[in-house]
Amino acid sequence: MWEYFYTVCYLSSAKSKLPDVNPVKLLIIIRKFQPHDFPWVIDIEKKVFDEHDPYFYMQFYETCSEGFIVAEINGFVVGYIVGFRMSEETGRIFSFAIHPAYQNLGAGSALIREIINVFSKTSVSEIILEVRQSNTRAKKFYERHGFYSIGVAEKYYNDNENAVLMRFQLER
């Protein structure tokens, strides 16, 4: 079956760690997940999260592939985001990570912008997600992208850590 495959490119101006060296221009390709990306996604998930379940990712690909998006730099898959529609009005971000070696280059921002764009073409009017209460960096990242906190789910994770629930309102 022919699969719709999109690519959105972002040029990120990554700051050089060396003084007097100009910012490096990076091409970030944003496209739909393909089955051959599976090992990259699982590798990133293992590096970034304590809990992981490869089974979910193939299931997402089979059931809601529109919201399964990856970021590529220099031919490597460096990050992914998985979002799906919980109801007519509500989209949910299920998992989102950038390989530790490729964080702070703008790939996360490109992915979150793209998932918002994908949801904006549907009937969804809000996007929700959960983030660990201790994950200050991700909370700040989401806030910078227009998400705000709407509550706390106590002992949400297996290790009993609370989750902060965050919401993004889509303009209609």
Task: Choose which of 13, 16, 59, 74 interacts with ligand COA (CB under 6 A).
Answer: 13
- 57 catalytic? Reply is no
82 binds ligand COA (CB under 6 A): no
- 157 catalytic? Reply is no
Task: Choose which of 29, 30, 108, 116 interacts with ligand COA (CB under 6 A).
Answer: 108
12 binds ligand COA (CB under 6 A): yes
Cβ–Cβ under 8 Å, residues 91 and 119: yes
Residues 172, 169: Cα–Cα separation, whole Å:
9
40 vs 96, beta carbon nearer ligand COA: 96
Which residues does residue 41 pair with via DSSP β-bridges, in sequence order? none
b (16+ CB within 10 A) / e for 6-24: eeeebebeeeeeeeeeeee
63 binds ligand COA (CB under 6 A): no
70 vs 131, beta carbon nearer ligand COA: 131
Per-residue x/- track, 23-62, ligand COA (CB under 6 A): -------------------------x--------------
148-153 vs 24-32, strand pairing mode:
unpaired
Which residue in 61, 80, 102, 142 is the catalytic one? Answer: 142
Q: Which amino acid is at 68?
A: F
Query: Considering the complex, what minimum distance in angstroms separates the CB of residue 111 from ligand COA?
Result: 7
41 vs 97, beta carbon nearer ligand COA: 97
In sequence order, the 6+-apart residues with CB closer than 8 A to the CB of 125 are: 89, 90, 169, 170, 172
Handedness of CA 157, 110, 168, 62 (dihedral sign): negative
* Residues known to be catalytic: 130, 142
